[in-house]
Amino acid sequence: MGKAIVVTSGKGGVGKTTSTANIGTALALQSRKVCLVDMDIGLRNLDVILGLENRIIYDIIDVVEGRAKLHQAIIKDKRFNDQLFLLPAAQHADKNAINEEQMIELIGELKKDYDFVLIDCPAGIEQGFKNSIAAADDAILVTTPEISAIRDADRIIGLIEQTSIQQPKLIINRIRKSMMQKGEVMDIEEITRHLSVELLGIIFEDDEVVRSSNKGNPVVLDPDHVSSQGYRNIARRLLGDTVPLMSLKEEKQSFWKKLFGKKR
């Protein structure tokens, strides 16, 4: 029996979908069987980031309304040997096309076959959010160091605490090292203390995330980037490993490295 984890944030644009894709990929790289479920019905994105958009034949609403069997709607990511799968959202329906009971049944089915079921929650706290958390065992809360995202995260924690889900684990995304060091934004410890939840990991701001997402390849596939390392650490922590937090210190480039080192 696998575990269903919802990835949520409240605020939009903080990196829920990117985090879902990358954590799922990282877990698949660790030889776990993972199914990603896109719940952003009507504004789906997860398929795009994984580069699977044109493979969609049936979607979650087709399954719920009985037009397709669950296994028909699930898309296998060919880059991994039977490790990573996607259940795509519908694009021409809305969040009310599915309800909580149907979600519980669906995710229950998936948990039989997969080690991890990652649910990509839509922004907001309406029906889409309710559906996403209805069937989850655990929650991952994504925020950025911005005060607006932290406010919304706080509200989400409050909502999740009213359910049977364990306390959510926090990912602080898009950290700009220099700003945090100068104290222009709340630092990691402040955010964690303010929200008083367990910290699961931090991801540094990295242009490569956008670059690789645009190509349909999650950044975590290439281990050389800081963001990739962050997601890999998160996956290992989810599997129970103890991994130290990445350092905030900006690597000072030596004069000689500046002069000769810029080969990449």
Partner 1 sequence: MNNAVTLKGRTEGFQIILHASASFEEVVDQLKELTVQLKKDTQKGHELIFFVDTGNRLLSADEKKQISDIIEDEHFKISSYESDVISIEDAQKRAREARPKLEVRTVRSGQILEADGDLLLIGQVHPGGTVRATGSIFVIGELKGIAHAGFEGNENAIVLANFKYNAQVRIGGNVHVIENRDENLVQSEDIQFVYVNDLHIIEVGSLHYLKTIRPEIGKHSGGLF
Binding site for partner 1 (CB under 8 A): 42, 44, 48, 51, 53-57, 91-92
Q: How far is the CB of 96 from partner 1 (least distance, A)?
A: 15
- CB nearer partner 1, residue 57 or residue 245: 57
- CB nearer partner 1, residue 57 or residue 147: 57
Q: How far is the CB of 256 from partner 1 (least distance, A)?
A: 41
Half-sphere exposure of 217 (CA within 13 A, CB side): 11
143 is in an annotated binding site: no
Strands 116-120 and 84-87: unpaired
11 is in an annotated binding site: yes
Long-range Cβ pairs for the range 100-109 (8 Å, 24+): 100/130, 100/131, 100/134, 100/135, 102/64, 103/131, 103/132, 103/134, 103/135, 104/134, 104/135, 106/60, 106/63, 106/64, 106/70, 106/135, 107/4, 107/37, 107/135, 107/136, 108/135, 109/70
- CB nearer partner 1, residue 62 or residue 152: 62
18 is in an annotated binding site: yes
182 is in an annotated binding site: no
Is 60 in contact with 88 (CB distance < 8 Å)?
yes
12 is in an annotated binding site: yes
- CB nearer partner 1, residue 36 or residue 56: 56
Q: How far is the CB of 53 from partner 1 (least distance, A)?
A: 6
Residue numbers in the known binding site for ATP are 11-18
Residue numbers in the known binding site are 11-18
